[in-house]
Structure 1
């Protein structure tokens, strides 16, 4: 399993990374994609919405199941990774790169401090 040190993690298996000011990328972890199996569809229905931390912002459908996606911190969903419409398997093959799911404008960047670092997340998933 891969747990990049420059990301923050949630107990619900989402990751977040600041990329530009207070805008961050959000996706699911390598562990999550492995547990789900082959991802066949990603749905995000929360663009331009202000959401609280832990609110559902979409879902990932895999061969085995459908799993809700939870926002790591409060903010506004400003963009969806449209390439996942035609290639949802990017979530499996590159979960921390081309498999990102949304761009989020953070309400308060300091909220990232309340999330797990890579060491803590690795301990969580064991």
Structure 2
């Protein structure tokens, strides 16, 4: 499994990579492996608001359906539309092609509450 250093991790297995006031959000390599083959991703619309620790969508695999938790608050400015036709991108490339949404952050101080790579690895016992 791969866990990049340049992103922040949410305890509910989402991640965020920030550039300026924009954050790209997805699920971790650990989460996609635990879920198994991703069959469907239910995501918000551009313009929707997300709240830190709030549910912004769901992801379904052959095993289970899981809620997606936002690591930050903000406005959705992009949705990975490729996932509609190819949800397996989340399995194949959780940090690149399998990203879920992009958000314009409303409060960058929320990033301080997220986990660093080392802390996330401790949480999942790796």
TM range (shorter): over 0.9
In structure 2, the partner of 1:66 is: 65
**Cα deviation code 1:32-61 (max 9, x no counterpart):** 000000001111134312222111111111
**Cα deviation code 1:65-117 (max 9, x no counterpart):** 11110110111111110011111001001000100000011011221121000
In structure 2, the partner of 1:47 is: 46
Unaligned stretches of 5+ residues in structure 1? none
Give the secondary structure class of the aligned counterpart of 1:96: coil
Checking the alignment, whether the CA contact within 8 Å between 1:10 and 1:115 is kept in structure 2 is yes
Checking the alignment, whether the CA contact within 8 Å between 1:46 and 1:58 is kept in structure 2 is no
Matches within 5 A, 1:1-126: 1-19=1-19, 21-126=20-125
Mapped to 2, the partners of 1:77 and 1:70 lie a distance apart of 14
Q: TM-score, normalised by structure 2?
A: 0.95
Q: C-alpha root-mean-square deviation of aligned residues, in Å? A: 1.0
Give the secondary structure class of the aligned counterpart of 1:4: coil
The runs of at least 4 aligned residues of structure 1 exceeding 2 Å deviation read none
Does 37-46 or 85-94 show the bigger shift? 37-46
Give the secondary structure class of the aligned counterpart of 1:77: strand
Unaligned stretches of 5+ residues in structure 2? none
Checking the alignment, whether the CA contact within 8 Å between 2:44 and 2:76 is kept in structure 1 is no
**For this pair of structures, how many residues does the alignment match?**
125
